[in-house]
Amino acid sequence: MERIAVCPGSFDPVTLGHLDIITRASKLFDRVIVLVSKNIMKKGESFTPQERKEMIQCVTKDLQNVAVDISDGLLANYVKEAGAIAIVKGLRAVSDFEYEFQMALANRKLYEGAETVFLTTTAENMYLSSSVVKQIAAFGGDISHFVPPEILGVIEKRLIKER
């Protein structure tokens, strides 16, 4: 049986931290579906779901067992329909923990067939997030250390336009 994992997130935009988690997940599972999902707590989106999907496709093109999809529904339903056995999330600091723990428990209540698996971030990505990237870009700072080089131009263009 193929062991499928879903790696959900807002990815607005995808960062080197996300890419690290996706790459490591691709070594643990037969197939990884990166799922561009809706986080109702986050307002002020910079990229459309389709744009985020295309950026992730661009930076994961060399990972043969990684696919990218979009969902605007419940993660648990998607995971069940995809036949996935795991939800993979990255954990940075302790501050991520309570929220991620809550989501893991809720998802388990909604669908028992998949485990949430947390991969710890690497030290250099510890304080990295899409919001940090947006903040730095908004003030004209250099984001080249935080996002994959292939999509740096597209991200800068959009975020600078938003300033």
Cβ atoms 40, 103 nearer than 8 A = no
What number of chain residues touch ligand PNS (CB under 6 A)?
A: 13
Q: Is 46 in the site for ligand PNS (CB under 6 A)?
A: no
CA distances 66 to 25, 62, 123, Å, are 9, 9, 24
Tell me the window of 25-33, 102-110, 117-125, 145-153 that interacts with ligand PNS (CB under 6 A).
102-110
Identified catalytic residue from 38, 92, 108, 158 = 92
Residue 42 designated active-site: yes
Q: Is 106 in the site for ligand PNS (CB under 6 A)?
A: yes
**Residues 6+ positions from 146 with CB-CB distance below 8 Å:** 15, 16, 17, 128, 132, 133, 136
Closest to ligand PNS by CB, 9 or 13: 9
Q: Which residues bind ligand PNS (CB under 6 A)?
A: 8-10, 37-39, 42, 74-76, 103, 106-107
